[in-house]
A = this chain, B = another copy of it.
Amino acid sequence: MHSPGPLPVNIPPARYYYFNDRIVDAHAPLLQLQDLGLFRGYAVFDFLRTQGGKPLLMERYLQRFRHSAEAMRLTLHLPDATLAELIRELIRKNGFAESGVRLLLSGGYSPDLFTPAEPNLIIRIEPYTPAPQSSYTQGARLVTDEYLREWPAVKHTNYINAIRNQPRVLAAGATEVLYHWQGQLSECSRSNLFIAKGGTLITPPLQQVLAGVTRGQVLRLARAAGIPVEERPLKLEELWQADEAFITATTKRVMPIVQIDHHTIGAGTPGPLSRHLLELWEREVEGKM
């Protein structure tokens, strides 16, 4: 099997970010050093992308960003409508064909480096390059790691374990690392997991994973198409017996998985349910004909 490999690392830089109250030069030195996000990992973020140059499902991402901020007692002063307008302006000014939009809210300049202060807000625009087509036609790979994600309901910035695993991911020609803990599957470091078994779609419940926006849309599309769906705890052994597996993420959409560690999933090629859901996604969400 040819591996589609990782996404390219050397991406061109953005020219403009938003920082607290204004649009700024992306590479200017702007942050004071005593930020709580930097010194204590105390920050939340979110990430959305454009489709045809327009932010896709933006209101859902902004809603989740605000939920994460509130859970960590960080005040997001700007209303969603203002954030949406700023995001549109930044996308225009940076001028990429397609953009990724990363929002970050940190614990701010904390005198004791422990008590959250007035948050720092950053909006970062990145050029968005879709995954190579081979990831969808041939399927992608995962590696696994036994790891319990901290507070998965909140999109905080702790990606230590994901970055720690990245050399293994790259060495295996994989796309992602899949987490399990005491025999239970949860999610990938930056994607949600689904399996298909006997025509039923199964994915771990929201108590155990981040509420992926793509995950939510795929569940909605599946239910509307009459596909049986179960949101329930999923055992690692069930993965090895699955007919199909796929992951969902903002950048990856519905990406079929054909190999995990040394296990081949199903027939080793993208399965019919994965392909059907990708088609539904492209038609219903992305608006492709």
Contact = CB atoms under 8 A, between A and B. Distances in A.
A61 B287 CA distance: 57
A96 to B, nearest CB: 14
Contacts of A115: 9, 163, 166
A132 interface: no
A113 to B, nearest CB: 7
Most buried by B among A112, A151, A158: A158
Kindly name the residue among A13, A29, A107, A166 whose own CB sees the greatest number of chain B CB atoms within 10 A. A29
Interface residues of A, number: 54
A32 B72 CA distance: 24
B161 A111 contact: no
A30 interface: yes
A163 B114 contact: yes
A164 B37 CA distance: 14
A64 interface: no
Interface string A111-129: 1111110000010101000
Copies of this chain held together in the complex: 2
B41 A124 contact: no
B33 A19 contact: yes
Contact of A163 (B10, B116, B157, B159): B116
Contacts of A137: none
A68 to B, nearest CB: 11
Contacts of A37: 37-38, 41
A40 B164 CA distance: 11
A150 B149 CA distance: 9
A33 B151 contact: no
Interface in A81-114: 102, 104, 106-107, 111-114
A28 interface: yes
A19 to B, nearest CB: 6
B157 A124 contact: no
A31 interface: yes
Nearest to A190: B114
Given A111-B9, A163-B40, A32 B29 contact: yes
Nearest to A161: B150
Given A7-B112, A30-B33, A38-B106, 12 more contacts: A9-B115, A35-B38, A36-B163, A37-B38, A38-B157, A40-B158, A40-B163, A41-B159, A42-B163, A72-B160, A113-B126, A114-B162
The 6 closest A-B CB pairs, nearest first, are A41-B41, A31-B31, A40-B159, A41-B158, A41-B157, A37-B38
